[in-house]
Amino acid sequence: MSDYKVKKSDAQWKEQLDPMQFQVARQAATEQPFSGKYWDHWDDGKYNCIGCGTPLFTSSTKFDAGCGWPSYSESINSEVIERITDRSHGMTRVEVRCKNCGSHLGHVFPDGPEPTGERFCINSAAIDFAPPK
Ligand SMILES: [Zn+2]
């Protein structure tokens, strides 16, 4: 396990997050496709970690992957994201977490658009949109 800067107990997380956010960010659940608030959200701005507020993605790299989850071709920078091999559900996938607080965000797949070729498939419940100041 990584040593995250932000450490809270489950009780503290439950106080901060709504039930869906807690399940996704802290228990690695996946929201239903086309159910979250950002899969079809295209305003300019940043998407911050629901757990600690770290900016993780920007609208400029968001694209419509047709999968029902917010999708990004890259993160704001490589420092904010932790990648972990996930062998659950009989698949080998790469889980992505917030490096600062360990919140589960979603997965990254190697089938995204150029130039990165990556697709960050992120749960709306794990992020919080912030328009430009
Ligand atoms: Zn975080």
Domain of residue 36, CATH code: 2.170.150.20
Q: How far is the CA of 98 from the centre of ligand 1 (A)?
A: 5
Q: Is residue 1 part of a domain?
A: no
**Percent of the chain scored above 70 by pLDDT?**
98
Q: Is residue 26 part of a domain?
A: yes
Q: How far is the CA of 25 from the centre of ligand 1 (A)?
A: 9
Domain count of the chain? 1
The pLDDT tens digits for 78-111 are 999 999 999 998 999 999 999 999 999 999 999 9
* pLDDT at residue 133, rounded to an integer: 84
Q: How far is the CA of 122 from the centre of ligand 1 (A)?
A: 13
Q: Is residue 29 part of a domain?
A: yes
CA 130 to chain centre: 14
Q: Is residue 3 part of a domain?
A: no
Give the catalytic positions in this structure: 121
Q: Is residue 4 part of a domain?
A: no
Q: How far is the CA of 131 from the centre of ligand 1 (A)?
A: 18
Q: Is residue 99 part of a domain?
A: yes
Range of the domain at 116: 10-130
